[in-house]
Amino acid sequence: MIKENLEKIRATVPEGVTLVAVSKTKPVSDVQEAYDAGQRIFGENHALEMRDKHEALPTDIQWHFIGHLQTNKIKYIIPFVTLIHSIDTANLLEAVNKEAQKHHRVVDCLLQFHIAQEETKFGLDLEEARELLESDAFRQMEHVRLCGVMGMATFTDDMEEVRKEFRHLKSIFNTLKNDYFAGQAQFKEISMGMSDDYPIAIEEGATMVRVGSKIFGIRSKK
Ligand SMILES: *Cc1c(COP(=O)(O)O)cnc(C)c1O
């Protein structure tokens, strides 16, 4: 079914929007099946799980980290990660920078914003992002490269609320682009939208969608 699911989703994702196949909790064999169907970009939210899958699977896979990243786990993913979507504090970005330096890498990252109504979802607000971007510490970080923003909408059936939150993230992106990244081509990504809301996210300007269960099936709760 994975191949069929992927084909269905691809038909709804326009050119220029990157599909991140979220394979968290799913076995290596499922990732391989998606790989065989042509998928090369996968998202994971646990560092050790991502490392183990990276070691077991083809080397041309691009691994995106999409979950809350604990500082002591950064080292497991820095050697190979393609994009970290979930930078939610200045300290985390600094710690990623430090680890990337050890590996002589410049690691691409997105700033995660809190756009949902739930208290539990991680992320910055605009003021915190400004503080980070205007800090001396940030200016000295030569081993991370900010490429855009990420957010998760409220878990709700109210699609108008979800749309409003995606618009909010897009406006945050526009503000940051204008104030800090004008003329910097790499700052272009808006990562928003999951299985149930990615079509709305695309309508509202997503450049990356993160789709799990619509490709791999429902996850059993851990
Ligand atoms: C699990 C997860 C997804 C994918 O969720 P689905 O509803 O299965 O598509 C996307 N983004 C993040 C940050 C996730 O943790």
pLDDT tens column, 11-65:
999 999 999 999 999 999 999 999 999 999 999 999 999 999 999 999 999 999 9
Calculate the average pLDDT of the chain.
97
222 in a structural domain: no
Decide if pLDDT at 103 tops 60: yes
Q: How confident is the model at residue 166 (pLDDT cuts 50, 70, 90)?
A: very high
Q: What span, in angstroms and rounded, lies between the C-alpha atoms of 99 and 75?
A: 6
Q: What percent of the chain has pLDDT over 70?
A: 99
Residue 6: per-residue pLDDT = 98
CATH label of the domain that carries residue 49:
3.20.20.10
CA of 197 to the centre of ligand 1 (A): 10
Q: State the total domains in the chain.
A: 1
Identify the pLDDT of residue 119. 80
Query: Of 57, 37, 39, 60, whose CA–CA distance to 49 is shortest?
Result: 57
Look at residue 114 and tell me if it is in a domain: yes
Is the CB of residue 110 below 6 angstroms from any atom belonging to ligand 1? Answer: no
3-state secondary structure of 176: helix
Instruction: Please tell me the residue having the least CA distance from ligand 1 atom 15.
Output: 67
Rounded to whole angstroms, how far apart are CA atoms 44 and 163? Answer: 25
Q: Tell me the mean pLDDT in the region 133-141.
A: 98
Per-residue pLDDT at 221:
62
Q: Which atom of ligand 1 is nearest to the CA of 198?
A: 9
Tell me if 158 is assigned to some domain: yes
Interatomic CA distance for residues 110 and 131, integer angstroms = 16
Specify if 197 maps to a domain: yes
Q: Say whether pLDDT at 121 is over 90.
A: no
Residue nearest atom 4 in ligand 1 by C-alpha distance: 212
- Mean pLDDT across the stretch 179-206? 98
Residue 221 lies in a domain: no
In 10 A of CB 144, how many CB atoms?
23
pLDDT in tens, 70-96: 999 999 999 999 999 999 999 999 999
Structure tokens at 15: 């050119």
Amino acid type, 4: E
Q: Where are the beta strands (DSSP E) in the chain?
A: 18-22, 41-44, 62-65, 83-87, 107-113, 144-151, 189-191, 208-211
* pTM (2 d.p.): 0.97
Instruction: Give the pLDDT of residue 33.
Output: 98
d(CA 50, CA 61): 11
**87 lies in a domain?**
yes
Q: Is the pLDDT of residue 222 over 90?
A: no
Indicate the range of 44-48, 196-200, 218-222 predicted with least confidence.
Answer: 218-222
CB 25 less than 6 A from any atom of ligand 1: no
Tokens representing residue 64 in the block: 């995106």
Structural domain of residue 163, as residue ranges?
A: 2-216
Distance CA 157, CA 174 (A): 27
Residue 77 covered by a domain: yes
The answer on pLDDT for 209 being more than 70 is: yes
Neighbouring residues of 161: CB distance < 8 A, sequence distance ≥ 6 = 117, 153, 154
When pLDDT is averaged across residues 112-121 and rounded to a whole number, the result is: 87
Reply yes or no on whether the pLDDT at 149 is more than 80.
yes
Sign of the CA dihedral with 6 first, then 9, 14, and 17 last: negative
Question: Which of 204, 193, 198, 191 is closest to 111 using CA atoms?
Answer: 191
Alpha-carbon gap, residue 58 to 55, rounded angstroms: 8
> What is the greatest pairwise CA distance in the chain?
50
